[in-house]
């Protein structure tokens, strides 16, 4: 069974090789920029920057757009809300209780481009970074919050174990389904409620086995001297390379441009 | 030198009674005394519920004895203070390889143990490469464990233990979930470890063919060691073993049956080659 975890798209590009922390910072800046800017010139500028970044990843752009499919409903819903319910002075169409204003349409365009770029932009991170590297970066970023009780190491460990067990559990689902089907279970026909009910004999054994696995894994980890974050070292230490500093410079210029746009337009 | 000294070790599991009934004690290990010396290869045999897995967990200090004394390289497993030393000294490999691999990349998983021990970064790298090479999995360092076969996964688990530089490696039915090819791979790796690297091995199994490879076989029943000696000595006791729910290795069994039929085959033959020699010498003498 070929399971791609997350949506990592392997390619040999500048963006792929960047330190995951730098990419995480980049995406954070990008999102902040999206919510800072509200002029169309600003959106156009961000869109161009995003386009350049996508070009640099060497990932086919169609992969970036895939994330949008799940959000089509939300996009349509927000634009409808904005079109119909924004109060404004420039009335374009007005009949019965519906009034469509120019401000409404502009607002809708703003919201949709903001959301679209948010999804597409963050997929640049997830498409070019393996889940493990992403986990390491998140552990690093949460590090300073350990003092106030944020279990950074534990969160990262849980994420990586979850990633490790996704394919194992998928395989298990497949096995249980076949076993139940061999005994006459029917997962495909019937209405929504009947289908949901037919999942019970699938989920119960799955949960039981997941708990058993968790128990065995915990014992195995203890046997290998795991005791949380105490006195732990790492085989792979993240280090900033020259290309990471280059990327940081680009981000600095980008942020400065956003601030200028905000002030002057 | 002794690595493991067990002196009248006892352990009972607590079983919570159903519907508020009082909890009961289920004795799993009773007054077990057993010493294992440096460099030895010991196989522990016994049917399900004979206490052999419990004994393994006692050695690793995952359980602590309720009575008796158990020392691992001089440290008592009873107290908390040496627990990490003991677990580092006595590395343990479990039955299901899927449920003991922590990381999504082979080399990261092997690094898990040394990382926990706080080994310096550069040394972890060296240990991981060495451990993977020892079990013959060096080419798979960057693979995802999910795509490996059972035997390969189990060898990765062994490498994960080796990277902690233990003095003894305990394998709790490591081949029970593997196909014959995987079983052969794992056993070859284990026996190479013992013969070439001088690693002390405690192999818990219910395959007689695996026990034959050991220097010493210990047969457990109802939590106690009932029989021990070299494989040749232990497998002389066919009727007793059958009574304990165990079989003879196939070749030994054939030898015993031939002897019953009147052929003067000597008892306690363990390998096919030995049997071939024996049969040839009988044929020649006729």
Does A149 have pLDDT greater than 60? yes
Yes or no, beta carbons of A217 and B116 under 8 Å apart: no
CB contact, 8 Å: B103 with chain A? yes
Q: How many angstroms separate the CA atoms of B208 and B217, rounded? A: 10
Judge whether residue A139 has pLDDT over 60: yes
B18 versus A250: the higher-pLDDT residue is A250
Question: Chain B interface, mutation test: which of A235, A236, A237, A239, most B Cβ atoms within 10 Å?
Answer: A235
Q: Say if pTM beats, i.e. exceeds, 0.90.
A: no
C-alpha angle B115/B119/B123, rounded to 5°? 105
Tell me how far apart the alpha carbons of residues B117 and A241 are, in angstroms, rounded to a whole number: 28
Kindly report the backbone phi and psi dihedral angles of residue A68, in degrees, each rounded to the nearest multiple of 5, phi listed first: -70, -25
Residue B239 sits at φ, ψ, to 5 deg, of: -60, -40
CB of A237 within 8 Å of a chain B CB? The answer is yes
Reported as type and span, the H/E element at residue B216 is: strand B216-221
Among positive and negative, which fits the CA dihedral A99, A105, A111, A115? positive
Residue in chain A nearest B158 by alpha carbon:
A224
Residue A79, min C-alpha distance to chain B (Å): 41
Q: B115 at the A interface (CB within 8 A)? A: yes
> How close is the nearest chain A Cα to the Cα of B208, in Å?
26
**Cα distance from B119 to chain A (closest Cα, Å)?**
6
pLDDT band at A86 (very low <50, low <70, confident <90, very high): confident
Please state, rounded to an integer, the average pLDDT across all residues of chain B.
Answer: 89
- What's residue A1's pLDDT? 34
How far apart CA B147 and CA A166 sit, in angstroms, is 13
- Comparing CB atoms, the residue among B102, B104, B118 nearest residue A232 is B118
| Closest chain B CA to residue A159 | B103
Smallest Cβ distance to B111: which of A222, A227, A235?
A: A235
The answer to whether residues B282 and B265 touch, using CB atoms and an 8 Å cutoff, is yes
> For B68-83, what is the mean pLDDT?
87
* Structure token digits, residue A129: 């970074």
Distance in Å, alpha carbon of A158 to nearest chain B alpha carbon:
10
Which sign does the torsion angle of CA B252, B257, B260, B262 carry? negative
**Residues of chain B neighbouring A224 (CB-CB closer than 8 A):** 87, 91, 102, 112-113, 116, 160-161, 164
From the CA of A219, how many Å to the nearest CA of chain B? 8
Pick from A223, A227, A237: CB nearest B121: A237
Predicted local confidence at residue B20, as pLDDT: 67
Residue in B104, B86, B77 with CA at minimum distance from that of residue A5: B104
Q: What pLDDT shows up at residue A185?
A: 79
Residue window 92-131, chain A: list those with CB within 8 Å of chain B: 131
Instruction: Spell out which residues of chain A touch residue B99, defining contact as CB-CB under 8 Å.
Output: 213, 216-217, 220
CA closest to A130 among chain B residues: B104
In angstroms, rounded to a whole number, what is the distance separating the alpha carbons of residues A91 and A195?
A: 48
Report phi then psi at B27, rounded to 5: -65, 130
- Contact criterion met (CB below 8 Å) for A116 and A72: no
- Domains of chain B plus CATH, in order, are 38-64+80-229 (3.40.50.300)
| Residue B94 CB-half CA count within 13 A | 21
CA atoms within 13 A on the CB side of A28: 11
Does the structure show a pLDDT above 70 at A4?
no
Once rounded to an integer, what is the mean pLDDT over residues B23-41? 88
Residue B217 Ramachandran class (φ > 0 left, ψ -120 to 50 alpha, else beta): beta
Q: Using a CB–CB cutoff of 8 Å, tell me whether B91 touches chain A.
A: yes
Q: Which residue has the higher pLDDT, A238 or B69?
A: B69
Chain B residues whose beta carbon lies within 8 Å of the beta carbon of residue A160? 102-104
- Nearest chain A residue to B127 by CA: give it: A235
Share of chain A above pLDDT 90, in %: 21
Rounded Cα distance, A189 and A210, in Å: 27
Give the gap in angstroms from C-alpha B281 to the nearest C-alpha of chain A: 50
Contact at CB, A233 and B160, closer than 8 angstroms:
no
DSSP three-state, residue B220: strand
pLDDT at A6 over 60: no
Token pair of A105, please?
């349409």
Q: pLDDT (tens digit, 9 = 90+) per residue, A193-219?
A: 888 888 888 899 999 999 999 999 999
| Residue B72 touches partner A, C-beta closer than 8 Å | no
Across the interface, of A131, A220, A235, the residue whose CB is closest to B100 is A220
Q: Which residues of B touch A3 (CB under 8 A)?
A: 146
As a whole number, mean pLDDT of residues B118-139 equals: 92
Contact A88, A101 (CB under 8 A): yes
The CA-based angle B270-B276-B279, given to 5 degrees, is 105
pLDDT digit string, tens, across residues B176-203? 888 989 999 999 999 999 999 899 999 9
Q: How far is B68 from chain A (nearest CA, A)?
A: 22
Give the ranges where A58-151 is alpha helix by DSSP (H): 61-69, 72-85, 102-128, 131-142
Q: B241 to chain A, minimum CA–CA distance in Å?
A: 31
pLDDT of residue A78: 87
Tens of pLDDT, residues A25-50: 999 999 998 888 888 888 889 999 99
Compute φ and ψ for B44, nearest 5 degrees. -110, 125
Distance CA B106, CA B144 (A): 6
Lowest mean pLDDT segment, chosen from A56-65, A81-90, B258-267: A81-90
| Dihedral, CA of residue B266, residue B268, residue B272 and residue B273, to nearest 10 | -60
What local confidence, expressed as pLDDT, does residue B95 receive? 92
Q: Which residues of B touch A226 (CB under 8 A)?
A: 112, 116
Judge: A168–B118 Cβ closer than 8 Å, yes or no.
no
Three-state SS for A213? Answer: helix
Backbone phi and psi for residue B198, each to the nearest 5 degrees, phi listed first = 70, 20
Flag the least confident range among A80-89, A115-124, A211-220, B103-112: A80-89
Check CB contact of A160 with chain B, cutoff 8 Å.
yes
The distance in angstroms from the start CA to the end CA of chain A is 53
Cα separation of A165 and B186, whole Å?
23
Q: Kindly determine whether residue B99 and residue A233, on different chains, have CB atoms separated by under 8 Å.
A: no
Residue B160 neighbours by CB under 8 Å, 6+ apart = A224, B100, B101, B109, B110, B112, B113, B131
- Are A137 and A28 within 8 A, CB to CB? no
B99 close contact with A: CB closer than 8 A: yes
Closest CA to B204 of B33, B48, B52, B4: B52
CB B28 within 8 A of CB B52: no
Cα angle B152, B158, B159 (rounded to 5 degrees) comes to 90
């Amino acid at each position: 069974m070929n399971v791609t975890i997350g949506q990592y798209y392997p390619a040999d590009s500048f963006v792929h090789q960047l330190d995951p922390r730098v990419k995480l910072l980049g995406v954070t800046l990008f999102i902040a920029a999206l919510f800072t800017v509200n002029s169309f010139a600003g959106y156009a500028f961000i869109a161009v920057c995003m386009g350049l970044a996508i070009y640099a990843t060497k990932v086919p752009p169609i992969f970036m757009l895939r994330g949008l499919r799940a959000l089509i409903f939300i996009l349509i819903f927000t634009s409808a809300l904005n079109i119909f319910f924004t109060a404004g002075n420039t009335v374009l169409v007005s009949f019965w209780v519906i009034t469509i204003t120019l401000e409404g349409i502009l607002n809708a365009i703003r919201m949709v481009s903001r959301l679209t770029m948010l999804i597409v932009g963050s997929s640049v991170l997830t498409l070019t970074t393996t889940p493990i590297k992403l986990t390491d970066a998140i552990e690093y970023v949460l590090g300073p919050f350990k003092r106030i009780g944020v279990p950074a190491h534990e969160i990262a460990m849980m994420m990586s174990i979850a990633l490790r067990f996704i394919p194992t559990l998928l395989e298990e689902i497949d096995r249980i389904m076949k076993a139940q089907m061999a005994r006459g279970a029917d997962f495909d026909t019937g209405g929504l409620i009947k289908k949901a009910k037919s999942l019970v004999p699938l989920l119960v054994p799955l949960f039981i086995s997941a708990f058993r696995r968790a128990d065995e894994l915990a014992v195995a980890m203890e046997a290998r001297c795991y005791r949380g974050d105490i006195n732990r070292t790492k085989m792979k230490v993240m280090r900033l390379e020259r290309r990471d500093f280059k990327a940081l410079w680009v981000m600095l210029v980008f942020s400065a441009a956003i601030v200028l746009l905000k002030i002057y337009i | 030198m002794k690595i493991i000294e067990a002196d009248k070790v006892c352990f009972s599991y607590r079983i919570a009674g159903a519907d508020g009934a009082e909890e009961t004690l289920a004795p799993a290990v009773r007054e077990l005394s057993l010493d294992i010396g440096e460099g030895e290869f010991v196989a522990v045999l016994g049917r399900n519920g004979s206490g052999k897995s419990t004994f393994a967990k006692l050695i690793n200090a995952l359980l602590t004895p309720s009575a008796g004394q158990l020392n691992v390289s001089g440290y008592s497993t009873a107290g908390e203070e040496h627990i990490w030393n003991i677990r580092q000294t006595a590395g343990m490999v479990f039955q299901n390889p899927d449920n003991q691999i922590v990381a999504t990349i082979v080399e990261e998983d092997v690094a898990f143990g040394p990382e926990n021990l706080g080994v310096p970064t550069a040394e972890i790298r060296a240990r991981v490469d060495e451990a993977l090479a020892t079990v013959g999995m060096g080419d798979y360092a960057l693979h995802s464990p999910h795509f490996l076969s059972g035997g390969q996964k189990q060898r990765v688990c062994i490498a994960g233990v080796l990277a902690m530089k233990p003095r003894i490696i305990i394998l709790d039915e490591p081949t029970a979930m593997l196909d014959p090819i995987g079983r052969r791979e794992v056993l070859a790796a284990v026996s190479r470890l013992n013969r070439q690297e001088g690693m002390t091995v405690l192999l818990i199994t219910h395959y007689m063919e695996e026990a034959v490879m050991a220097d010493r076989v210990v047969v457990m029943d109802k939590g106690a060691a009932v029989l021990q000696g070299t494989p040749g000595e232990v497998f002389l006791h066919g009727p007793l073993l059958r009574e304990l729910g165990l079989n003879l290795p196939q070749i030994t069994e054939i030898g015993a049956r031939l002897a019953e039929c009147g052929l003067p085959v000597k008892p306690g033959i363990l390998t096919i080659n030995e049997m071939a020699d024996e049969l040839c010498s009988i044929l020649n003498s006729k």
